[in-house]
């Protein structure tokens, strides 16, 4: 049997690295360098004098009542909507997997919320929930917008589970609920984790829908999120407040994702 020469392996690795170069350049130019620039703006007095002020901009942002309001509303959106979104997606996916046969047609239907124009969707929600004076319409809009892709991902994961696993468990005396706890949940946990992280990230992208729904830069207090705070500072050319709040938001996302990944690893152990 012929052995593979080392230089061929090096050539293959080199080709793989060359294929990654465009993606790495895009990541550097459009994400890393702009983030470093934002970090720089958050540490100076203003964009003209450029005096180093340390953490002053961060302290001012934390002490700002509107930032605290936006921070609280964003956290509330995540803690309320993301669990409901994932649980509903799991329930619907289980029903699609075990009760329906024509899954492909159903999957196409669930992708429609991401394809429909946002303005038309918001117009419908305003017609239905126009008299509701709380955050419920925004929460429902977020769930409706993101549940389709979660259902598709979870249904795809469920269809990869072999029926023999359930049959063997039934022979051992396992019931319906224990089947899902002992077999279904551990096998689709990576997909659940990915869907949850995607939902958390998308919760910080709800500004467009929220802005169209409330029709103002200053919505009611219950609808004022971090995106509104950063957008308003951008319109006022307050780049230091914008930069510091952006960095704090990125740290918040990193903390939430890290905590979730840590909890997932402990569960898998």
Three-state SS annotation for the chain: CCCCCHHHHHHHHHHHHHHHHHHHHHHHHHHHHHHHHHHHHCCECCCCCCCECCCHHHHHHHHCHHHHHHHHHHHHHHHHHHHHHHHHHHHHHHHHHHHCCCHHHHHHHHCHHHHCCHHHHHHHHHHHHCCCCCCHHHHHHHHHHHHHHHHHHHHHHHHCCCHHHHHHHHHCCCCHHHHHHHHHHHHHHHHHHHHHHHHHHHHCCCHHHHHHHHCCCCCCHHHCCHHHHHHHHHHCCCHHHHHHHHHHHHHHHHHHHHHHHHHHHHHHC
Q: Give the C-alpha separation, 70 to 220, whole Å.
A: 11
CATH no. of 56-268: 1.10.3720.10
- Domain boundaries along the sequence of the chain: 56-268
Per-residue tens of pLDDT for the chain, all 269 residues: 455 555 555 677 787 788 888 888 998 998 899 999 999 999 998 878 888 988 999 999 999 999 999 999 999 999 999 999 999 998 888 887 766 545 555 556 667 777 778 888 888 898 888 888 889 999 999 999 898 889 888 888 888 888 777 777 777 777 667 777 777 888 888 899 889 989 998 998 888 889 989 988 889 999 999 999 999 998 888 889 999 999 999 998 888 888 888 887 777 66
* Model confidence, pTM: 0.80
């Amino acid at each position: 049997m012929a052995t593979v020469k080392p230089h061929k392996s090096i050539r293959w690795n080199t080709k793989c690295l060359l294929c990654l170069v465009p993606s790495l350049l895009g990541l550097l130019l459009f994400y890393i360098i702009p983030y470093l620039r934002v970090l720089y703006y958050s540490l100076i007095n203003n964009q003209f004098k450029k005096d180093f002020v340390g953490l002053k901009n961060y302290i001012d942002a934390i002490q700002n009542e509107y930032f605290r309001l936006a921070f609280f509303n964003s956290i509330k959106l995540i803690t309320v909507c993301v669990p409901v979104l994932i649980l509903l997606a799991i329930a619907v996916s289980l029903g699609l997997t075990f009760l329906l046969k024509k899954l492909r047609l159903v999957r196409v239907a669930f992708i429609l919320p991401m394809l429909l124009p946002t303005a038309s969707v918001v117009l419908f929600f305003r017609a239905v929930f126009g008299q509701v004076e709380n955050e419920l319409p925004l929460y429902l809009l977020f769930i409706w917008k993101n549940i389709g892709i979660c259902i598709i991902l979870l249904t795809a994961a469920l269809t990869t589970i072999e029926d023999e696993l359930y049959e063997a468990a039934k022979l051992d005396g396992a019931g319906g609920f224990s089947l899902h706890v002992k077999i279904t949940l551990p096998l689709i946990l990576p997909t659940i984790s990915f869907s949850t992280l995607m939902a958390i990230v998308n919760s910080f992208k709800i500004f467009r829908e929220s802005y169209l729904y409330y029709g103002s830069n200053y919505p009611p207090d219950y609808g004022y999120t971090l995106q509104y705070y950063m957008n308003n500072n951008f319109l006022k050319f307050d780049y230091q407040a914008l930069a510091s709040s952006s960095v704090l938001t990125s740290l918040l996302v990193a903390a939430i994702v890290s905590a979730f990944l840590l909890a997932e690893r402990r569960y898998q152990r």
